[in-house]
Amino acid sequence: MRISHWIDGKPWAGVAERTGDVFDPATGEVTGQVDFAAQSEVDEAVAAAARAFPAWRDTSLAARSKILFAFRQLLHENRDELAAIVTAEHGKVLDDAAGEVQRAIENVEFACGIPAMLKGGFSENASTRVDVYSIRQPLGVVGVISPFNFPAMVPLWFTPNAIACGNTVVLKPSEKDPSASNFVAELWARAGLPDGVLNVLHGDKVAVDGLLTHPTVRGVSFVGSTPIARYVYETGTAHGKRVQALGGAKNHMVVLPDADLDLAADAAVSAGFGSAGERCMAVSVVVAVDPVGDELVAKIRERMAKLHVGDGRRAGCEMGPLVTGAHRDRVTSYLDAGVSAGASLVVDGRDHEIDGSADGFWLGPTLFDHVEPPMSVYTDEIFGPVLSVVRSDSYESAVGLVNDNPYGNGVAIFTNDGGAARRFQNEIEVGMVGVNVPIPVPVGYYSFGGWKASLFGDTHAYGPDGLHFFTRTKVVTSRWLDPSHGGVNLGFPRND
């Protein structure tokens, strides 16, 4: 199967100079070839978006809303097919993929209401016969660069908001699982989106750099690892673009002594191993505050043993493979590194029973205990099914551990003490906080994003921040001659 670019409302028909393999992670088989863009294809996609921009910018809010609502309906009707595409190329189980699509639909629903939010302010008679008012206008052509772990949801964090605000878009999805973006582009076309408003460009660094440096691209949204997020932000801003670049994470879950340990253990396993840990909001560190560590580790271990790992298309499977063999090997290398550094390997994911092809990219759930901050299993974003337990002797030291970490994406606290929870949400230096909620991803009408090395730029993704990112404010000062200045005057008589 060939996966080509989607440019100006149709599949690209050119011949690619370079292509990449697309795998079925559950079997290890190559299922397709994805075209890699050269600079000429970048230029073609941007040019298509630029041609479409003037007409789309001037399209009425009512007409934009009609297309957004139609797209939302098509996405809902085709959610099962989209979830199946995600599972086939990413590997996450079908239930997880369906959840991803549902969260994507929530973001589209927010975008459907954006026209009601595109309102400015008005000051009448700010000076004598002078009115001042503000309006929000789109940026122009914007780029969206999305990661492999949410091939349906993350592009739909950005593209509906950008389109609703009147921009045109060039989307560069991950080359590891590219088909979801093409499928979504087809749904947009069926919803009535004009040609060129959304373009899909596949590829690697050539495509990314082409968007970051192209003079016509006005803004770029990115989600990925912190080193690449920093590169995207620095390169894009150096070329005069507005950039929001969401980076990596090392999310902690603090468990206080008064917490319900069964609830906490359920949450740790769910948040640590869902989607095989390939989530920027996955819990990768459990901070057990004395004296609950031993009991909590035992409960987590008990639950891990029951996890059904296998092909996500098979009934009952709860965790699938990793996205590629290379990524699986990288994650697996941390198991030996953790043991060498002195951590206790409580559960070795290499020994977990697998319900799937032996050639799939498998690693079962893995648990370390007695992890210390200098160890690589703690410092690095592993992005796999590896959960580390760090022991802490107090609430204060647990908060200090989280705040000292260079990442600040998500954090959770498990406790039955409302005062402790309120203190925690105030003192913790992290962008998204969960109280007895392990993965505190905001709903679509709030905004998603972290602090510190987890975010480069001034705005978070989707929600109100998305509206602000994809528009810029223009202030108009106007003065009109009064009819009394001369000529025919049919106005109401004045006595002043």
Q: List 479's β-bridge partners, or say none.
A: 130
- 280 in catalytic set: yes
Which string of b and e fits 150-186 if b means at least 16 CB within 10 Å?
bbbbbbbbbbbbbbbbbbbbbbbbbbbbbbbbbbbbb
Structure tokens at 295: 């009991």
Instruction: Write b or e for each residue in 410-419: b if 16 or more Cβ atoms lie within 10 A of its Cβ, otherwise e.
Output: bbbbbbeeee
Where do we find the tokens 């690693």?
A: 363
In the structure encoding, which two tokens stand for residue 48, read together? 């298509």
Q: Rounded CA gap, 52 and 35, in Å?
A: 24
* Candidate list 112, 165, 280, 317, residue with the active-site label: 280
Residue type at 165?
Answer: C
CB atoms within 10 A of CB 496: 2
CA–CA dist 307, 302 (Å, integer) = 10
SS in 3 state form for 442-493?
CCCCCCECCEECCEECCCCECHHHHHHHCEEEEEEEEECCCHHHCCCCCCCC
Active site residues: 280
